[in-house]
Amino acid sequence: MQLMETVILAIYLVGMTLMGIYFTKRAHSSESDYWTAGKKINTFVGAFALFAALASSSSLMGAVGSGVSLGIPFLFAYGFGAVAILPFTMFLVSGQIRRSGVSTLPEFFKQRYGNSVQIIAVAIVVVGMTFYMVPQLTASGLIGSYVLGIDYTTAVIVLGIGFTLYAALGGMWAITYTDLIQGALILVGMLVLSIIILTQHNGFASLIQEALTVTPTFGDITQPWMSYFGLFLAFLWFGIVSPSAVMRNFASRDARTARRSALGACLLYLIIFIFGFIIAAGGASLGIAETLDNQDMIFISVIETYMSPLLAGIMFAGLLAAIMSSADAMLLAISAGVARDIYKEYIKKDATEKQVTRLGFIIMVVASMIGILIAIEPPQLIAIMVGWVGGGLLSAFGFPLVLGIWWKRANTAGALAGMLGGGLTFLLLVITKPFALVSEPIIAAPVSLILVIVVSLMTPPPSEEMKNQVDRYHGDLINTKRKVS
């Protein structure tokens, strides 16, 4: 057991749990408070919360591990796509989806396309977000087993239960404000580690030279071009198609706040990937990648090599913050999909707000347990698992969502065809593996796009009421045009 690191992690976990307990009464006072923090989150808090939700274990441990083991071009493809997430989201959907007035992504699909699309969307959200829990739990198990001196399986269970507790208790209020702290902790921890690495290697140029000398493959292109492009696409679209990220828009005060939060989060994410590149170079300079059973452990090795026990404990808390801030958002998306979009919509329409939020609590716990069971034997490197989730959500949700906002002619039949056709194509490609690793969305997403357009044009157009709904998504633009005219 690493004593100092264990004490710091324990303090951190207790602090986050106490915050969850503090927000319990407010969160459970209404459905709006539980799922969207009463739609009262400002730009500053929203930017850190969105950044923390996206800056998962994949952005830290996964990016560094894959960057060292698969080459820095893999990290660049990952990083460019991830940093571009937020400006892409800001201009394409943030303001529009906030104006819809809904609280979840499946609820938006119901508003735009109808009940059938909502039900399919909930199923995809539950499966996708549960699987997305796996890389977060994998990372927590790796950290916990190293720091606490316990076996990996026990660490996954203990830490998984820990972050489920405060998310389930405090809902979006607890998740948002714990994410503010977690985002700041991630940023400061990676800044300090990067400065230490650069100082010990006498600057950036010397660091890169040493990394390439010790690990010559660090700068190599090790994968087919489709892998890099597929990974880039999966992360570029992640802020649009991930229910856990989209729900941050619903918590913002208004459409302008949602856009500004996305811009602020983008700047924070850019800084993180600069630090990630420095840390990956520090990992490559150690020359230990081939000696590790799990190459996602490279980040942990870098921390232990370059930092004192006190600083290492703070950095481990930062890594755990990245895991918890993403996992709590996923749990909320899953519970909202089942409790709000299925139970209250179709099973018990007269359910009270307290009944719905209590069911949401139970769903979070169940989803966490399923994620823990899968994470005990994780299927791949962390970054690749997240790439699969991003690619799958893009293939299913990307074009039904974007065309639903920007194209009035998109209808229910087209959305169903695009969602099912894109999602099933993605699954088929993952199972059969005819192409390079994580390249599946290059094929599956265009299939979804073509199906939405072709099927919509071949079937009756949506109602005038639905077309007017699309106009409302673009309220600011329409009002501006009216003023000009």
- The lowest-confidence range among 16-25, 30-39, 158-167, 365-374 is 30-39
Alpha carbon distances (Å) from 475 to 30, 449, 480:
28, 25, 9
User: How many domains does the chain contain in total?
Assistant: 1
Measure the CA–CA gap between 296 and 293, rounded to whole angstroms: 9
| Selected residue with higher pLDDT from 186 and 215 | 215
Q: Quote the pLDDT of residue 477.
A: 46
Specify if 277 maps to a domain: yes
Measure the CA–CA gap between 367 and 468, rounded to whole angstroms: 37
Q: 315 lies in which domain range?
A: 3-374
Pick from 339, 327, 390, 415: which is nearest to 108 by CA? 415
Q: Quote the pLDDT of residue 58.
A: 56
Task: Give the range with max mean pLDDT: 43-57, 194-208, 281-295.
Answer: 194-208
pLDDT at 239 over 70: no
Measure the CA–CA gap between 456 and 268, rounded to whole angstroms: 39
Confidence of residue 483 (pLDDT cuts 50, 70, 90): very low
- What digits encode the pLDDT tens for the residues 458-470? 999 998 888 888 8
Percent of the chain at pLDDT > 90 equals 21
Specify if 384 maps to a domain: no
Measure the CA–CA gap between 416 and 459, rounded to whole angstroms: 12
Q: Give phi and psi for 214, each to the nearest 5.
A: -75, -40
Pick from 235, 227, 237: which is nearest to 448 by CA? 237
- What digits encode the pLDDT tens for the residues 303-346? 889 988 888 888 887 777 667 766 766 777 788 888 888 888 88
| Average pLDDT for 141-148 | 79
Measure the CA–CA gap between 364 and 341, rounded to whole angstroms: 15
The two three-digit tokens of residue 98, written as one number: 């906030």
Specify if 176 maps to a domain: yes
Confidence of residue 290 (pLDDT cuts 50, 70, 90): confident
Measure the CA–CA gap between 36 and 50, rounded to whole angstroms: 13
**Number of other CB atoms surrounding residue 255 within 10 Å:** 20
Task: Give the range with max mean pLDDT: 134-148, 247-261, 302-316, 372-386.
Answer: 302-316
Confidence of residue 9 (pLDDT cuts 50, 70, 90): confident
Specify if 206 maps to a domain: yes
Residue 42 belongs to a domain with what CATH number? 1.20.1730.10
- The lowest-confidence range among 85-99, 109-123, 270-284 is 85-99
| Average pLDDT for 172-201 | 82
| Average pLDDT for 214-229 | 83
The two three-digit tokens of residue 459, written as one number: 């079937």
Specify if 144 maps to a domain: yes
Specify if 209 maps to a domain: yes
pLDDT at 163 over 80: no
Specify if 385 maps to a domain: no
Alpha carbon distances (Å) from 411 to 95, 253, 445, 447:
22, 29, 18, 17
Q: Which amino acid is at 45?
A: V
Give per-residue burial for 28-61: e unless 16+ CB within 10 Å, then b: bbebbbbbbbbbebebebbbbbbbbbbbbbbbbb
Q: Which amino acid is at 113?
A: Y
Specify if 476 maps to a domain: no
The two three-digit tokens of residue 318, written as one number: 């930062």
Q: Quote the pLDDT of residue 391.
A: 84
